[in-house]
């Protein structure tokens, strides 16, 4: 199920909700906890207009569509992938703006 985000540039808003994957659930009680427990950064925007965010704490990439819905959450560490590999994957599959 997709999570609606009012501001796709703000990963902390996504982190405050339950982001479910097949392996774990990330739950933050409030914005302060999300900020303290997350070192996140925006990796970029792909050709389809989706914004890719990386969370160093959970080692996940969250892809947020232009409409604010979460397209996918990828657990890089669980897959043995790095941020550089994700970057290359997106460049090959979609392309970056």
Contact 59, 77 (CB under 8 A): yes
Residue 31: predicted pLDDT: 57
**Is 6 inside any structural domain?**
no
62 within a domain of the structure (yes/no): yes
Cβ within 8 Å of residue 82, ≥6 positions away: 76
Question: Residue 81 domain-assigned?
Answer: yes
What local confidence, expressed as pLDDT, does residue 50 receive? 96
Hey, what's the torsion of the CAs at 71, 89, 95, 70, to 10 degrees?
Answer: 10
Quote the pLDDT of residue 10.
52
> Residue 63 pairs with which residues in a beta bridge?
52, 72
How many structural domains are present in the chain? 1
For the chain (length 97 residues), average pLDDT per consecutive 10? Answer: 46 47 50 58 93 89 93 92 91 95
């Amino acid at each position: 199920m997709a999570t609606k985000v009012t501001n796709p540039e703000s990963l902390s808003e996504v982190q405050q909700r339950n982001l479910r994957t097949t392996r774990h659930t990330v739950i933050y009680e409030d914005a302060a906890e999300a900020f303290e427990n997350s070192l996140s950064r925006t990796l970029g925007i792909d050709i389809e207009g989706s914004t890719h965010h990386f969370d160093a704490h959970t080692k996940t990439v969250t892809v947020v569509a232009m409409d604010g819905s979460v397209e996918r959450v990828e657990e890089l560490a669980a897959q043995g992938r790095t941020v550089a590999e994700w970057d290359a994957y997106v460049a090959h599959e979609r392309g970056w703006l």
